[in-house]
Structure 1
């Protein structure tokens, strides 16, 4: 079964062109287009189908992408939101991610890159291209805050630092002067606490919250 996508963009020609591109992707289909965040909310209220993924522009009248992704995080947290914009500045990237976006792409992205990005978003729960990851590394860790109710030990913090590297678990164990089994226990404990499933998820959490 194909994953469903909704495009939110006030430029109708761009949205329709994007819809045509995505409908040629094997695993995805666009079910409708909304002109801005308010239009999307109205469609939801009128019982339009809730999609798996939303491709969201930032600069829109009435209700922009920043407001829309925040509303989606609060009301439909299971929807994976990919920002798709002409804006690639640090402020826009950081604000969209903080507000709940799980991915970020520029509109000049090649269709094949778009397909791969949507697949990554669908399968892994997030997608940030290299240029966006650099922005996250250099900015987000400075002021991101871990939820107060998460009790992360010093050793778990140390482990999180290594999750963003290419080190194997055995190599991480060597760095931490412990056994690979102990490192695996740190991984499992953190996955339980943070409700994550993979090392990639832990790495993204580490980047977002200043552990790496």
Structure 2
């Protein structure tokens, strides 16, 4: 049996032991997954996706899912934890990123958070994203988005750095409470619950260019 299918079955067995989740099927690569999507009536809420797969890898699969099934949440489970891989997958709309050595308890936590909050990135992945954004010199604010005010966009720009909320308030020449107001307004408008989620939105929407 192919190693990738063996790994998929092992992960499936792990998920089946979790109380609130069920497995619809396994796929050893992206091409097989596409065929299953096309030939079955049921589409999963979450896809656990590896990057290193034969025939059609995780990058290609995530891009296809983003285009064809944007409501399906992708949780990456991969040995590739480098900056380029994490950022590229975020651009393809993934909702979480885990190392393949993640223990079952964290995998269950990630699945629960993706289901309930829409996102799960452990500290190491969040640090990669924020550092990449902070180090990039070609940040761009979008001021034509009518849903967000200029000050909300300015806050979103700072939220994608590693500044604390108090430091953001100093940069924006306002009080910490006002900054919290911008944050809460964005949480409400964008249906996002975490600062990491705001950073993911900013990257995907092109508010911050990587």
Could you give the per-residue CA deviations for residues 99-139 of structure 1, whole angstroms, max 9, x where no partner exists?
A: 12111111111111111111111111111111111111122
Kept in 1, the 8 Å contact 2:52–2:58? The answer is yes
Kept in 2, the 8 Å contact 1:54–1:81? The answer is yes
Structure 2 unpaired stretches of 5+: none
Which residue, out of 84, 104, 124, partners 2:117? 124
Q: Distance in 2 between matches of 1:43 and 1:148?
A: 41
Q: Could you tell me which residue of structure 2 aligns to residue 156 of structure 1?
A: 152
Change (3 A) 1:178 1:91: closer
Alignment map for 1:40-119 (pairs within 5 Å)? 40-119=33-112
- What TM-score does the superposition give when structure 1 sets the normalisation length? 0.77
Q: CA RMSD in A?
A: 3.3
How many equivalent pairs are there? 199
Could you give the per-residue CA deviations for residues 72-98 of structure 1, whole angstroms, max 9, x where no partner exists?
A: 111111111011111111111111111
Query: Would you tell me which structure has more strand in proportion to its own residues?
Result: 1
Task: Report the secondary structure of 2:107's partner residue.
Answer: helix
Change (3 A) 1:57 1:157: same
Which residue, out of 177, 180, 183, partners 2:174? 177
Structure 1 unpaired stretches of 5+: 1-8
Change (3 A) 1:144 1:155: closer
